[in-house]
Structure 1
Amino acid sequence: GGQCGNQIGAKFWEVICDEHGIDSTGRYNGDSELQLERINVYYNEASGGRFVPRAVLMDLEPGTMDSVRSGPFGRYSDPITSSSGICHSLGGGTGSGMGTLLISKIREEYPDRMMMTFSVFPSPKVSDTVVEPYNATLSVHQLVENADECMVLDNEALYDICFRTLKLATPTFGDLNHLISATMSGVTCCLRFPGQLNSDLRKLAVNLIPFHGCTSLWLGSQQYSALTVPELTQQMWDAKNMMCAADPRHGRYLTASAMFRGKMSTKEVDEQMINVQNKNSSYFVEWIPNNVKSSVCDIPPKGLKMASTFMGNSTSIQEMFRRVSEQFTAMFRRKAFLHWYTGEGMDEMEFTEAESNMNDLVAEYQQYQDATVEEEEYEEEEEELGA
C-alpha cells in the first residue's frame, strides 16, 4: 500500500516472475517443472494459460499506480486478493494509515490467516515527512495487535548496504527496492519451491515469536555473490548486512532463523548454526535453548549457486522504537501538527494510547534483554514457597 509499498511490491513481482519463468505477458517460459510445482501460492492461472499475480496494489493518489500499470508487469495485473503479506511504509499516509486499517480488516475477516508485513520504518537521519513519528507510532500500535510477523526495514540501513557492500556511488530507491525484493524472495522461497528442510509462515512465527507483542523481526540477506555455507553464515550474521538502523550487538537475540537456498548439506548448515551460537553465546538469551531455526530450499536465486536470508528477533530493535517515541513525544507535547489528525475525526486519546503502547513495547524488550536463568529460578522458588 502507498507509494513505497507499491514500488517494493512491483520489484518483488519482477524478481519472482524471473524465478518462476513467467514473462511480462504472464506466460510460462521456464525450464523446470519445479517452477510450476507451487505456482498457485502467488499466482492464479487465468484463461489462455496466463499467470496473474495474487496481489492488490492500493494508493490514495494515481501516480504510483500509473507507473506500475505502465511497467513490464502492469499488462496482466488483475484485482485478485492475497491475504498473507503486506508491503508498506510507516512514515507516510497511505501505507501507515490505510495499510494498518487493511491489516485489521483482514484480521477480522480471516482470523486464522498468518499475517506477515514488510514495514519500512522512518530512518534516523533521512526524513521524508515531518509527521513521520506520529504515523509510525500510530501504526506500530496496530501492527503489534494484528500482525503475526513484522519484518522491519529502514532506508538508511539499506543505503549503507549499497555503499559498503555493493559499492554503489549513488544508490537510487530502485536499488533499495531490489535489495528488499531479493530478501522477500528469500523469506518466501520455502512457500514457492520444494526443499529438504522446508518452512512456512506459521512455522516461522512459532519459532521466531516467543511472546505476543514481540513480533518485530530483523532482516538480513546475503545474495551478492556465490559463497560457501560458512562464508554465507558469517556474512548473514554481520551487523553491516542488517536492513534496519539498530545494532544487534547492543541487545540479545531471543530467536533467529536462517534460510538457505541452493544445493548444500543440511548437516553443514546445522553445524554452522551451532558454531554461531557457541561463538556468540553472550548475544543470545540463555533461557531459550537452541533458539536458531534453519531451513534449506533446494532452488537458489537466479544466477547464484547459493544464498541465504536471515531473520532475527533481537531486543536491540527497541533502539528504533525508542528513537521514534522520543520524536513523537517532542512534537506531541506541543500538540504540533495535531489539528490535521483531529480535523479528520481522530481523538487526542488515541495518540496518548499509542505513545503508551510504544513505551510498553520498549520496556518489554528491555525486560527480556535483562532477564537471566537465575532470575527465573529464583522467581519459581519464591512461588513454590508462597504456595
Structure 2
Amino acid sequence: MREILTLQIGGAGNAIGDAFWHLISHEHGVDYGSGRFDGTSPLQLDRISVFFNATVSKRFYARTIIIDTEASTIQRLSSSSHLYRPENFVAGSESSGNNYARGYHTDGAEILDQVLESTRREVESLDSLQGFQLLHSIGGGTGSGLTSLIMEALVEQYPDNLLCNYVTIPSPNLSQVIVEPYNALLSIPALVNNSHLTFCLDNEALFQICNRNLKIPMSGYEHINHIVALTMSGLTTCLRFPGQLNAGLRKIYVNMVPFPHLHFLIPGFAPLGSCKEQQFSKGTVAELVQQIFSSNNLLCAIDLRKGKLLTAAGIFRGRMSPREVDQLMTGVRNKNLNNFVDWIPNNIKTAICDIPPRGLKMSATFIGNTTAIQTLFKRLLDLSSIMLRRKAHLHWYTGEGMEEHEFIAAQEELLAIIDEYRASGRDDGDTRDSGKRDSDDEISSRTGPKCQYCTN
C-alpha cells in the first residue's frame, strides 16, 4: 500500500492535525481515544494503512510526527488520545517566539536531528512511501522557520517522494502577531522550491465562512480547524477509499500542476451552510457543483472570476451518477470558457467515492490551480514591504543571525512566482519570461525608501 507520513509542525499545525486525525479515525472506525477498531464495514480497513499503522495488539496509531519547539502542545495531545505514538513526539525546550529566524537558525535547528530520526524510523517501517504531508502555519516562528528547515532536509534525504503542504496563511484583519508578514514572506522560497503540492488555507476566508456561511459566533479556532479537517478529509478520500481517479499523490500532482513552481492550490468544500440553510437545500449534485465553484466556499479569500483556472478537480462523496457528475463539471467549463486557460486541454477532472462523510449524504471537495492566487501573494508582499521599508522589528531577526538581504531575496522569489502565474494566464501559456525578476528600481520601491528621511 502507498503510505503517507504526516508531519504536523507548530501550534497551528498540531491543532489542525489533531482535528484531521479525530475526523478520519471515525471514518475508518478507529476509536480516537483508545486506537481500537470498532467499525462496521470492511471498506474502513481496506486502505487504512495509508494513514495508520497497526500494532501487534491490533491497535491503530496515526502515522504522524508531532513537532513543536515548546512542550505544551505535545503534552496536551499526549494526554488527549492513545492514537499518537509516544516516540513520535518531538519538542524543544523553548518557544520560537513567533520568529522565523529562531525556528530556522536556533531553536528549530536544535531539534532537527530528532525530527529526522523519527522520520527515518517511520519511513523504514513502510512498504512503499508515496510522500509526506506537512501541516503548518507560515505566520508563526515554528511553522515557518522550522518547517522550511525540515523541508530542505526531506528533499535532500528523500528526493523521490512528494511533499504536500497544508499551509495556514495569516490574515491582516485577524492577525495576533505583528511580525506575521515577515514570517510568511521568508517561508515562500522553501514552499516554491521544495514543495510539490501546496494547499493554501487562508485565515481570512475561514473566518468569513464561519461568520457568513455557518452563522457561528467565533470564540476560538475549533470551528475553523473542523472546516479544514473536513476539507482535508475530502482531499484525501481517494487515497483512503476506492475511487475512480487520483488514487495517489503523484496522480494529483500530474493532473493539477502544469509547471513545477505553479503548485499553489486553492481548496474548497461543499456543503458549507447553517442548519437553517440546509433545510432549504435541494441536496443534488448540481447544487454541489455550483457551490464548489463559488468563492464563498473556497478556503482562500480570492475571487475565481479575477483570474483563469489552469486546472480544477472535484472530489465527490456519496451515492451519485458518474455520468451526471462528468456532465455537470464539463458544463461548468463550457459555460465559462473565458475563466479557463485554453492551452491546457481537458483541464477539469472528477473523482467519485461512494462513501459519504459523517453526517452528510453527499459532499464535494474542490481543488483549483488559478492565476487569481496572485491577489494572495500580493497581499503578503505588500504587508511585508510596508514593514521592511521602515525596517520595523527587523532587529529581532538580525539578532538571530539573519541579514537584510535574505528578506530582499524572499521578496524577489515572491515577485517571480507572481510573474509566473500572470504569464500562465496568457492564451499561449508561454512562461519563458515568467521567472524574470523585477528591475532593481521596482524592487527598491517596494522594499525601502530611496531617502533615509522618507517615511512613505
The DSSP-based 3-state class of the residue aligned with 1:57 is: strand
1:234 correspondence with 2:290: yes
1:194 correspondence with 2:246: no
TM-score, normalising length: structure 2: 0.79
Change (3 A) 1:313 1:22: same
State the shift of 1:94 in Å. 0.3
Gaps in structure 1 of 5+ consecutive residues: 377-387
> Who is 1:40 aligned against?
49
> Who is 2:307 aligned against?
251
CA deviations over 1:110-143 (Å, ceiling 9, x no partner)? 1111111100111131112111111111111110
Q: Which amino acid aligns with 1:38?
A: R
1:12 correspondence with 2:20: yes
> Who is 2:204 aligned against?
156
Conserved 8 A contact 1:39-1:192: yes
Q: Which amino acid aligns with 1:326?
A: D
> Who is 1:275 aligned against?
331
Question: Which of 200, 210, 221 is the aligned partner of 1:173?
Answer: 221
1:63 correspondence with 2:80: no
Question: Which of 25, 28, 36 is the aligned partner of 1:27?
Answer: 36
Alpha-carbon separation, structure 2, partners of 1:51 and 1:78: 15
State the shift of 1:266 in Å. 1.3
Conserved 8 A contact 1:199-1:295: no
CA deviations over 1:184-236 (Å, ceiling 9, x no partner)? 01011111111234532111111111112111110100144682211110011
Question: Which of 207, 212, 217 is the aligned partner of 2:255?
Answer: 207
Alpha-carbon separation, structure 1, partners of 2:249 and 2:84: 30
> Who is 2:378 aligned against?
322
Alpha-carbon separation, structure 1, partners of 2:398 and 2:220: 36
Say which is worse superposed, 197-206 or 4-13, in terms of deviation: 197-206
Alpha-carbon separation, structure 2, partners of 1:200 and 1:308: 18
Say which is worse superposed, 282-291 or 147-156, in terms of deviation: 282-291
Gaps in structure 2 of 5+ consecutive residues: 1-8, 89-117, 123-130, 273-277, 431-456
Alpha-carbon separation, structure 1, partners of 2:197 and 2:222: 25
CA deviations over 1:256-310 (Å, ceiling 9, x no partner)? 1111112222111110111110111111112212211111122111122211100
Q: Which amino acid aligns with 2:427?
A: T
Conserved 8 A contact 1:52-1:78: no
Question: Which of 133, 139, 145 is the aligned partner of 1:91?
Answer: 139
> Who is 2:60 aligned against?
51
Change (3 A) 1:108 1:47: same
Alpha-carbon separation, structure 1, partners of 2:247 and 2:336: 25
Conserved 8 A contact 1:186-1:259: yes
Conserved 8 A contact 1:198-1:297: no
The DSSP-based 3-state class of the residue aligned with 1:217 is: strand
CA deviations over 1:305-343 (Å, ceiling 9, x no partner)? 211100100111111111111111222222222222222
Change (3 A) 1:209 1:198: closer
Conserved 8 A contact 1:25-1:75: no
Alpha-carbon separation, structure 1, partners of 2:419 and 2:244: 39
Conserved 8 A contact 1:257-1:312: yes
Q: Which amino acid aligns with 1:34?
A: L
> Who is 1:347 aligned against?
403
Conserved 8 A contact 1:123-1:245: no
State the shift of 1:74 in Å. 5.8
Conserved 8 A contact 1:220-1:236: yes
Change (3 A) 1:328 1:281: same
- Point out the structure with the larger helix share: 1
Question: Which of 134, 148, 168 is the aligned partner of 1:120?
Answer: 168
1:372 correspondence with 2:393: no
Change (3 A) 1:337 1:62: same
The DSSP-based 3-state class of the residue aligned with 2:139 is: coil
Q: Which amino acid aligns with 1:161?
A: I
> Who is 1:296 aligned against?
352
Task: Report how many residues are paired.
Answer: 374
Alpha-carbon separation, structure 2, partners of 1:58 and 1:263: 38
> Who is 2:154 aligned against?
106
Conserved 8 A contact 1:90-1:121: yes
Alpha-carbon separation, structure 2, partners of 1:291 and 1:162: 31
Q: Which amino acid aligns with 2:393?
A: F
Conserved 8 A contact 2:62-2:83: no
Alpha-carbon separation, structure 2, partners of 1:177 and 1:357: 30
TM-score, normalising length: structure 1: 0.92
Kindly, what percent of the aligned residue pairs are identical? 45
